[in-house]
A and B are shown apart, each in its own frame.
Chain A
Amino acid sequence: EVQLVESGGGLVQPGGSLRLSCAASGFTFNTYTMNWVRQAPGKGLEWLSYMSSSSSVIKYADSVKGRFTISRDNAKNSLYLQMNSLRAEDTAVYYCARDSPWGGTLDYWGQGTLVTVSS
């Protein structure tokens, strides 16, 4: 069974940093592109970033480019999101999601971790 479990969320002050983790199990992690998606309270889904299986291809949404960094450790079956210079508008539930084997689809999602940026 595919499982994705996010962790690392919490309360952080504006301008602060946070690192999110996503632990994957139930599939061969090192063969899949992985994504981060967020959802602000009461709002819609926003795709943030993906990293290919070998880490060779990385993409970011303009809203987080230069502030957020995606990374992965295939030996630990884990995906990460380093978030710097956090703003109030970054407050959201952050999901990791797996790219489908055929690409172009996010087929499995974690339950999410809440990040609150507030003083």
Chain B
Amino acid sequence: HSALTQPASVSGSPGQSITISCTGTSSDFGTFNYVSWYQQHPGKAPKLMIYEVTNRPSGVSNRFSGSKSGNTASLTISGLQAEDEGDYYCSSYTSSSTYVFGTGTKVTVL
């Protein structure tokens, strides 16, 4: 499984909404909806933001939401804030029972 495809960068002004796409194949996404999104700040470990396509872990702001259509998953950040700057990675549990990550997207708050 090659890496899932994400845009290299996305930017927005404070208060705006942005959407990050994550594209793969049907085997990348498997038969389960095990798509996750991770936020990573420089020098820090990734943090789980969305799991199973749409679910937020406890403590994650409801400004983060996920969706999936066909072989493309998406992460939307609404009401963009300075603290949302960082790198974002999608991930999927594949039909081969392995994990695959996206190429990563750098989010910049203008």
Binding site for B on A (CB under 8 A): 35, 37, 44-47, 50, 59, 61, 95, 100, 102-112
Q: How distant is the Cα of A62 from the Cα of B53 in the complex, in angstroms?
A: 26
- Residues A45 and B93 in contact in the complex (CB < 8 Å), given A35-B99, A106-B99: no
Cβ–Cβ < 8 Å partners of B104 in chain A: 44-45
Partner of A104, one of B32, B44, B47: B32
What are the 10 tightest A-B residue pairs by CB atom distance, in nearest-first order? A104-B34, A47-B99, A104-B93, A109-B45, A44-B104, A105-B51, A45-B101, A105-B36, A111-B45, A107-B48
Contact: B48 with A95, CB < 8 Å? Answer: no
Binding site for A on B (CB under 8 A): 3, 32, 34, 36, 38, 44-48, 51-52, 57, 89, 91, 93, 97-104
**Selected A-B contacts with CB under 8 Å, 8 pairs:** A44-B3, A95-B45, A104-B32, A105-B51, A105-B93, A107-B57, A108-B48, A111-B44
Q: How distant is the Cα of A102 from the Cα of B97 in the complex, in angstroms?
A: 14
Contact: B52 with A44, CB < 8 Å? Answer: no
Nearest B-chain residue to A47, judged by Cβ: B99
Q: How distant is the Cα of A44 from the Cα of B103 in the complex, in angstroms?
A: 6
Nearest A-chain residue to B47, judged by Cβ: A109
- Residues A106 and B97 in contact in the complex (CB < 8 Å), given A45-B104, A95-B45, A100-B51: no
Contact: B51 with A47, CB < 8 Å? Answer: no
Q: How distant is the Cα of A27 from the Cα of B38 in the complex, in angstroms?
A: 21
